[in-house]
Amino acid sequence: MSFLQDPSFFSMGMWSIGAGALGAAALALVLANTDIFLSKSEEATLEYLENIDLKTLEKDPRTFKAKELWEKNGAVIMAVRRPGCFLCREEAADLSSLKPKLDKLGIPLYAVVKEQVGTEVKDFQPYFKGEIFLDAQKKFYGPQRRKLLFMGFMRLGVWCNFFRAWSGGFSGNLKGEGVILGGVFVVGPGKQGILLEHREKEFGDKVNPLSILEAAKKVKPRSLASENK
């Protein structure tokens, strides 16, 4: 047992523990930046989206089926992860920049939120140039809800997104639920179907605006969409 009295033995032991901890941390960082542990998404069907109950944000809210949003002219719909998030505000501003072109195509721009927290929706509206509705059951965030917790802050892409939004002058707060990931949909009128479905895979994973416009140009007049039932 004389080796227990040897200071070098303890030094080597502490070095081994430190190296092991460093190696574990490095492995965790590498794995966090792959898609292995990300929540898997499930594509929505038109039938699933059509039957979602939405509410207006008026004093006396009206409940209606989501298909009203696109039934006549199609629609672009943003499922907002959290209105107070500066990354969501950045994406909302990007989508709003497309509104003049969407208006020419006759396609409205909408957003849905999961909850109403204080003035968060009102404070979000300067960034989003379309009507906003409440999806209290969080159906637009399904069929399989995806969550990103603390691992998200270990992802290099998330920090790049943070820097991009900060550089763009966007700011926000931490109010409300923000771990259930959002997305963007382009839906054609009638039964034309879902033309684009973007699912946020990490915080700040924005949809490509060009993809939105490409999908929007595929929207058919309702008469033609009805013929293709």
- Here the tokens at position 162 are 């943070």
Q: How far apart, in Å, are the Cα atoms of 30 and each of 147, 150, 159, 195?
A: 19, 15, 15, 34
Q: Which residues contact 210 (CB under 8 A, 6 or more apart)?
A: none
Tell me whether strands 183-187 and 194-199 are parallel, antiparallel or unpaired. antiparallel
Q: Which amino acid makes up residue 159?
A: W
Q: Which amino acid makes up residue 118?
A: G
Active site residue 160: no
Give the whole-angstrom CA distance, residue 117 versus residue 41.
Answer: 27
DSSP code at position 76: E
Exactly one of 88, 92, 95, 112 is catalytic; which is it? 88
Exactly one of 54, 69, 80, 85 is catalytic; which is it? 85
Tell me whether strands 183-187 and 75-79 are parallel, antiparallel or unpaired. antiparallel
Give the whole-angstrom CA distance, residue 206 versus residue 97.
Answer: 14
Active site residue 88: yes
Q: Which amino acid makes up residue 186?
A: V
Looking at the annotation, which residues are catalytic?
85, 88
